[in-house]
Chains A and B, each alone.
Chain A
Amino acid sequence: MAGALQAATAALLSSTPLKTYGSYRLRLGSAPRSLAGRKGSFLVVRSDAGFGSGSNARTRPGKLIPNAVATKPDASSSSTSSKPGHELLLFEALREGLDEEMARDPRVCVMGEDVGHYGGSYKVTKGLADKYGDLRVLDTPIAENSFTGMGIGAAMTGLRPVVEGMNMGFLLLAFNQISNNCGMLHYTSGGQFTIPIVIRGPGGVGRQLGAEHSQRLESYFQSIPGLQMVACSTPYNAKGLMKAAIRSENSSCALRALYLLFGGGGDGAPGEHVTILTYSRMRYHVMQAAKTLVNKGYDPEVIDIRSLKPFDLYTIGNSIKKHTPRLQSAIIKEFWDYLDAPIKCLSSQDVPTPYAGTLEDCTVVQPAEIVKAVEDLCK
């Protein structure tokens, strides 16, 4: 299914080509072959899942950097009209995906806090309420448990709601609905009801948002059977994943980073020495680390796995790596023979995210750590 999601993503995107900001498999530089004998060392870099764009709506808008477009001047926003090869910011890509799906299928609707008249706290639904009306782009009160439940109930009747959590951490309040009803209704009803709902939102570490607004919830959702989970990292895959998630008949949880950097492009070619699996925000850290590694003579292969549940073990199996302990155990189980060295997993610290900027950086895996880990592995 993960492969299906990837394939669907690719198929959907090929019709409206976007300039890629880095394809999902990267090879950075050519490396000397001194380490040619080692194949299949694996390094896992766990994303702290800083996802998403825009400011947290509970603070004043504009306080945070929406879509930190620090480096590239040509990464500025363009018009949202679809022309081949146009450039978009992440939230615009999400909006485009959503808009296209809503135009295509009248059953797609959006609900969430401030998605309608306000335009979305991260501007993902800006303009959609004017276009599609207040019932299709529904402003809800601050009641995550019940509006997620209502989205699921609507999905049971055949609608395809997209529930936007202002921050994935708030969806903890709706965890019962997501776990029991989203994930399991198809099973407990013996296949009678499908729940084609998409629950999306930013989550993870942003810019000094404090502990309660910086929660990393992927492993909570991992344990829900029946749920699909994807994480986007670039506007290109964000739009594709959004469309694929809406068209999927299963409940999907689409995470995005609160804070993403741009930078790093290049095409992919498989690397020989080490495979680095990553997703979302960590992709950028990994790419920086990979540049350093290439300079030092390694040949890493970086894969942005994008689909967190179920894991795209097919692709990963072609180049193994793992983010979370769960993935690690699956890889160990399946691909043990192919591993030359133990899998190393780098993930965020087991602490609440502090407010101070320097401390917050310590909770997130930095490029230097990644480089060191690869060097350790390849020794």
Chain B
Amino acid sequence: MALSRLSLNTSSSSLSRLLFRPSLLSASRLFSSSDVLTIETSVPFTAHQCDPPPRTVETTPKELLGFFRDMSVMRRMEIAADSLYKSKLIRGFCHLYDGQEAVAVGMEAAITRRDAIITAYRDHCIFLGRGGSLVEAFAELMGRQGGCSKGKGGSMHFYKKDSHFYGGHGIVGAQVPLGCGIALGQKYSKDGTVTFAMYGDGAANQGQLFEALNMSALLDLPVILVCENNHYGMGTAEWRAAKSPAYYKRGDYAPGLKVDGMDAFAVKQACKFAKEHALKNGPIILEMDTYRYHGHSMSDPGSTYRTRDEISGVRQERDPIERIRKLILSHELATASELKDIEKQARKEVDEAIAQAKENPMPDPSELFTNVYVKGFGVEAFGADRKEFKAVLP
């Protein structure tokens, strides 16, 4: 991993008012929170049909520490979900995102909450990035009524309408036309926002993706197709599933950018670039080169189609959290023990959220029939034994 080059602009030498951790306020720092740090991404961007953005990214200590904290919380959440699944509190399908956190936090840093994100079933961390709370996430995973979808969706159906997070979809690839439709709505209302439609390397071979891209390009829709390439479509490696695994080039007429998805700053730069591009010129494809440590889902050990050496190799060299940790330490924004404290804090938050979510009750049986149709036109049916049927006419 290339070491970042540091250029420092200090506006004053006053003590920093760093962040959110009270313990850090007491320490003296060389940088204030409004300082701008320039960091170089690990590798340059590879572009298709466009000029790549520069490698140097500007950031602040606040943002750096924010990345560290958010990614630690996400990592802890996924690991906790793993153990909850093994203790049978989470059932069904559970697709974990650990290893890919940089994509979620980098994207959030580049956009606003009015921009839309839609993704597939590996959605827990995107939900958190959009402002979802840990309690809502765990409650939904455990099927409780305090969950973000009232317990009726599950792991694959997290949604947050007020932050324009459109889910959470189980069928591979089906979310991409939906994402292009959301962009159609955004273009229709002319509000200067974009949609990030995320999918995986497995979904990249779906026909509906190309259909939707074609239509989006015809209409110049402000949609950004983000391929989170973790190199395995469940158990099938990308070279066995795709004749051309250069997913950023597969848009053909649509420009594309290949990004190191384990580097949060590369992701941030690429998303910022893509947003500007999409608002002016229509769709663009971003391929995030990333990696997942867990298997495809909890029922997949993840080691039958790849070696443990490969997994630990990536963890040592490219882990997103470690990268940020090294950056923070090399710029002396915090000490190693302070970073450890942040991680401990994250763990504590996650544990508290789980405890709270466990207290949450299961949904009431009458919830079976709510939200099938929109309220006001609903036909209510009562009686699990089907003895009674009532049609409620407004």
Binding site for B on A (CB under 8 A): 1-5, 7, 109, 135, 138, 140-141, 143, 145-159, 176-177, 180-181, 185-194, 225-226, 228, 248-250, 310, 313-314, 333-334
Contacts and interface: CB of A to CB of B under 8 A. Distances in A.
Contacts of A180: 169-171, 174
A333 B176 CA distance: 42
A146 B181 CA distance: 9
B153 A188 contact: yes
20 contacts: A3-B393, A4-B393, A135-B188, A141-B211, A143-B214, A143-B215, A153-B181, A155-B181, A157-B181, A158-B189, A187-B152, A188-B157, A190-B151, A192-B159, A193-B159, A193-B161, A194-B374, A250-B374, A310-B379, A333-B386
A147 B212 CA distance: 7
B182 interface: yes
Given A4-B394, A149-B174, A192-B161, A156 B215 contact: no
A186 B157 CA distance: 11
B185 A146 contact: no
Nearest to A314: B391
A156 B179 CA distance: 10
A146 B177 CA distance: 5
A150 B150 contact: no
B186 A157 contact: yes
Contacts of A152: 177-178, 181
10 nearest interchain CB pairs?
A153-B181, A149-B177, A157-B185, A150-B181, A146-B211, A190-B150, A143-B211, A190-B149, A153-B178, A249-B374
A1 B394 CA distance: 8
Nearest to B180: A150
Contact of B372 (A156, A159, A189, A225): A225
A189 B157 contact: yes
B interface bracket (residues with beta carbon within 8 Å of A): 35 or more
A156 B377 contact: no
Contacts of B307: none
Nearest to A330: B389
Nearest to B162: A192
A17 to B, nearest CB: 24
Given A141-B211, A146-B212, A156-B182, A109 B188 contact: yes
A119 B376 CA distance: 35
A177 B177 contact: yes
B166 interface: yes
Contacts of B375: 191
Contacts of B167: 185, 189
B152 A188 contact: yes
B148 interface: yes
Contacts of A5: 377
A154 B370 contact: no
Interface in B131-179: 147-154, 157, 159-161, 166-171, 174, 176-179
A314 B374 CA distance: 20
Contacts of A143: 208, 211-212, 214-215
A278 to B, nearest CB: 21
Nearest to A135: B188
B161 A141 contact: no
B371 A149 contact: no
Given A141-B211, A156-B178, A176 B185 contact: no
Most buried by B among A149, A150, A152: A150
B211 A3 contact: no
Contacts of B211: 141, 143, 145-147
A5 B376 CA distance: 12
B215 A249 contact: no
A150 B372 contact: no
A146 B370 CA distance: 29
Contacts of A148: 177
A180 B121 CA distance: 14
B392 to A, nearest CB: 8
Interface string B45-89: 000000000000000000000000000000000000000000000
Given A190-B151, A192-B160, 4 more contacts: A149-B208, A192-B159, A192-B161, A194-B374
B153 to A, nearest CB: 4
B218 to A, nearest CB: 8
B180 A159 contact: no
Contacts of B389: 313, 333-334
A338 to B, nearest CB: 14
Interface in B194-241: 207-208, 211-212, 214-215, 218-219
Contacts of A190: 147-153, 159, 371
Nearest to B214: A141
B345 to A, nearest CB: 30
Nearest to A158: B185
A186 B371 contact: yes
Contacts of A192: 149, 159-161
B150 A191 contact: yes
A155 B157 CA distance: 18
Contacts of B372: 186-187, 225-226
